[in-house]
Structure 1
Amino acid sequence: MYQAIDIKKYKTDEQITNVTAHNLRTSLSNNVNPKKTHKNKFFIGSADMDFQKELDDKLATCGKFRKDAVKVVNLVFSASPEFFKNGVKTKEWETLTQEFAEQTFGKENILYSVVHYDEKTPHFHISIIPRKDGKLNASHWFDGRAKLKAFHDNYHKAVKHLGLKRGEERKKPTYVSLEDYYKKVNASAEYEQKLDEKLDRVLTHLDNPSFSEKVNPWGFISKTLKPYIENMGKSLAHYREKAKKYDGIKKELDKAEDKIADYEAKFEEMGLKPTLTYEACRWHKSKLFPSSVPAVQEKKAPLSKREGEDLEYIPQPTTKKIKPR
């Protein structure tokens, strides 16, 4: 199980208004289950708070700042979905995350903090004004890779005893990691093959049921058919994703083939063929773009015919020097 942190900086009033409407649930998005919104838990602020007044009051203490300054930072803390199955650890995680935010940014700089339980995976929104020494200064915490790494590391120290891992830092793929990736791809293919084989066995059973299955079809459904259908349902997302990728690749290939056919037709109109020699290409270029080819005295070569080609004129450049004008 892993910890997860997302950090977003906001500069404009429109950006701040939109994210606040989502976090305080004054505007519901499609991924929100309104029947569970009452389970959301506020540590600072409330769903009906006057957010704009709270923001204006805090910004008034920051002195002068540029128009493009970061006014609000929204942090989202979460973890692997299975972590939240443990209610005791979840409550401790809430407390520790709130304490970490207060110690890091100061409680007086937190606009609101709320845990959302009305989406697929629980997560903790903490919205702050990045005030440091009386001025807006988001770079104090989030400027550069080193500071972001330290932020993630410090949070991990606070929650690692709950069984949450830090997560790997971003790095370039190595030979080993790529090899591991392809192993997973091959494992996926093997899994699909096993699933197909299992489906064949189920269909065979349906066509040729045993005597006990004829007598008790409900037993066959519950023991064999139902588990397979449930397993198949879990795999649908996997197949849909692969289908989308294949569909995209097919479209790209179709476009490439159309372009190739178009170029081949154009080359044929120009009298160009894949087997043309360098001298023949140079001759064609001189006819198409006379000014781009230096003047060279040429002597006619006899017509030649290659197997499978039409007769064509192949100029032969001479070694005779041309006097300068």
Structure 2
Amino acid sequence: MLQVAQFAIIRMQKFQVSDVQGIQKHNQRQGTSKSNPDIDYSKTEQNYDLLNDQNLKYESEIKEKISGQVKRKPRANSVVLSEFMVTASPEYMNALSAEEQKIYFEKSLEFIQERYGQKNTIYAVIHHDEATPHMHVGVIPITKDNRLSAKDIFNKQELRELQEEFPKHLQEHDFKIVRGEKGSEKKHLSSQEYKEKQDLEKEIQLLDKEIDGKKKEFIDLSEALPQEKLEIKVQKEIKTDVKQKLFGDAEVIKKETGNYVLAPKQLKELTGYVNAALAVTKDYERLQSTDLVKENKALEASNDSLHSLLMNSRDNYTKLSEENQTLISSNKDLKARVADLTLEIKATYQSVKEFVNEHTKTVRDFKSVFKDFADKIRGKTSEVREKGQLEPRTSEFEKIHQKEVRREQDNELSR
């Protein structure tokens, strides 16, 4: 049978502002979820928030907190919310009374607020309408020196200490709970991944119960069979023929037919034995071809495989996110470089224009010389782009020159 330890469970996920509305709808059950079949909406009224009596507008609350505490404006892709999912092993959590569950969640919230700031904690929603009671706690990741930085707060060391200290805090309040396997290669699961893993574990437990049922059924049938060599006392069937004679008494001839005669009670008893034997034989043959134990092991292997796949996907997502951050940073550097080059080209254009103006006598001479210069720049630019096999396009110098020419033409028309 699958044994589940009494584990304290705490997981943290980071969210950007674009994720916040979806988190709010899930936590406050705003609308019906099609992606989460575990929600029993008949029990939704049992849900409550330890910090708020009314529904909260997450995005407005987060922006207000950040603007009031953080001086630097956050980037569009900044992590603005770190959400904790708090629960325990299903068997342990469901064995607690409603009052004990509430205390469990209150002490868990107390631990989170002490660690990450009471003023930064905006909600603590408890869900009783899913398979296992759990709590979602929202924390805005603001550092002690008033910076918005989930990366600095939730580093590897902090995440390790979180898993160590959380069960200790609960143990201090008389909860017989332990942390997960120390040194395990398992990584943190998201809420959705955790639910999928729970579903697989439930399926394994159902298979275990089915195996136990079949074992009992097999034992019952076996006990119905005689434990010693079966001996049934039967009589042989005798056929009697009467042969008449012309003289004297008729001759009675008795002959065995080869059949046996059973009393009704004997027939019923024997029929029961045969039926039980047939049932055991058929069940044995079925188990030979469909081994539930093997199915159980295959499902456990599938569970591990799925968990590994989920973790690989999570690693790939993290890697892609890091690469994306690098690209964003590089893009910003390139934009800054382009802006600098544009300013330099504008300054060069004005310097060349002033130089030509100083060395020409008339306006006509100036325009002629500067036009020739601009044409040479255009030709050189096209030549360089062609050699580099680049797509033809208007250079920045040419754009400035065309803009300047149009401006001068507009001035002449307005005179």
Q: Determine which of 205, 217, 228 is the counterpart of 1:199.
A: 217
C-alpha distance in 2 between matches for 1:194 and 1:117: 31
The residue that corresponds to 2:182 in the other structure is 169
The residue that corresponds to 2:51 in the other structure is 44
1:201/1:90 CA distance change after superposition, 3 Å: same
The residue that corresponds to 1:105 in the other structure is 116
The residue that corresponds to 2:155 in the other structure is 143
Give the unaligned 5+ runs of structure 2. Answer: 1-5, 187-206, 227-264, 269-291, 306-415
TM alignment of 1:237-276, pairs within 5 A? 239=295, 242=298
Deviation sequence 1:188-238 (CA, Å, 0-9, x none): x99998765533344567999xx9xx9xxxxxxxxxxxxxxxxxxxxx999
State the AA in 2 paired with 1:66.
R
C-alpha distance in 2 between matches for 1:105 and 1:42: 19
1:197/1:4 CA distance change after superposition, 3 Å: closer
State the AA in 2 paired with 1:6.
R
The residue that corresponds to 2:22 in the other structure is 18
State the AA in 2 paired with 1:20.
Q
The residue that corresponds to 2:10 in the other structure is 5
| Secondary structure of residue in 1 paired with 2:39 | coil
State the AA in 2 paired with 1:33.
D
1:70/1:240 CA distance change after superposition, 3 Å: same
| Deviation, structure 1 residue 129 | 0.8
Decide whether the 8 Å contact of 1:83 with 1:90 is kept in 2: no
The residue that corresponds to 1:66 in the other structure is 75
TM alignment of 1:22-37, pairs within 5 A? 22-27=26-31, 28=33, 29-37=36-44
| Deviation, structure 1 residue 98 | 1.6
Identity over aligned pairs, percent: 23
| Secondary structure of residue in 2 paired with 1:72 | strand
Give the unaligned 5+ runs of structure 1. Answer: 174-188, 215-235, 250-325
Decide whether the 8 Å contact of 2:24 with 2:57 is kept in 1: no
TM alignment of 1:209-248, pairs within 5 A? 239=295, 242=298
Deviation sequence 1:113-172 (CA, Å, 0-9, x none): 11111110111110111011222111233112x211111222222102310101213435
C-alpha distance in 1 between matches for 2:76 and 2:152: 18
Decide whether the 8 Å contact of 2:21 with 2:58 is kept in 1: no
TM alignment of 1:314-325, pairs within 5 A? none
C-alpha distance in 2 between matches for 1:172 and 1:52: 35
C-alpha distance in 2 between matches for 1:190 and 1:108: 47
1:82/1:244 CA distance change after superposition, 3 Å: closer
C-alpha distance in 1 between matches for 2:165 and 2:115: 9
State the AA in 2 paired with 1:86.
L
TM alignment of 1:117-136, pairs within 5 A? 117-132=128-143, 133-136=145-148
Aligned length: 205
State the AA in 1 paired with 2:216.
K
| Secondary structure of residue in 2 paired with 1:127 | strand
C-alpha distance in 1 between matches for 2:128 and 2:147: 34
| Secondary structure of residue in 2 paired with 1:124 | strand
| Secondary structure of residue in 1 paired with 2:78 | coil
| Deviation, structure 1 residue 47 | 5.6
Decide whether the 8 Å contact of 1:10 with 1:71 is kept in 2: yes
Deviation sequence 1:226-253 (CA, Å, 0-9, x none): xxxxxxxxxx99957837979xx9xxxx
C-alpha distance in 2 between matches for 1:140 and 1:78: 25
Decide whether the 8 Å contact of 2:11 with 2:86 is kept in 1: yes
Decide whether the 8 Å contact of 2:8 with 2:177 is kept in 1: yes
Q: TM-score, normalised by structure 1?
A: 0.54
Decide whether the 8 Å contact of 2:208 with 2:296 is kept in 1: no
1:237/1:53 CA distance change after superposition, 3 Å: farther
Decide whether the 8 Å contact of 2:20 with 2:59 is kept in 1: no
| Deviation, structure 1 residue 50 | 2.4
C-alpha distance in 2 between matches for 1:191 and 1:96: 35
Decide whether the 8 Å contact of 1:24 with 1:46 is kept in 2: no
Deviation sequence 1:45-71 (CA, Å, 0-9, x none): 356322232122112232322222211
| Deviation, structure 1 residue 6 | 1.2
C-alpha distance in 2 between matches for 1:141 and 1:44: 23
User: Over aligned residues, Cα RMSD in angstroms?
Assistant: 3.7
Bigger Rg, structure 1 or 2: 2
Matched, 1:86 2:86: no
State the AA in 1 paired with 2:153.
W
Decide whether the 8 Å contact of 1:113 with 1:125 is kept in 2: yes
C-alpha distance in 2 between matches for 1:81 and 1:43: 21
C-alpha distance in 2 between matches for 1:197 and 1:36: 37
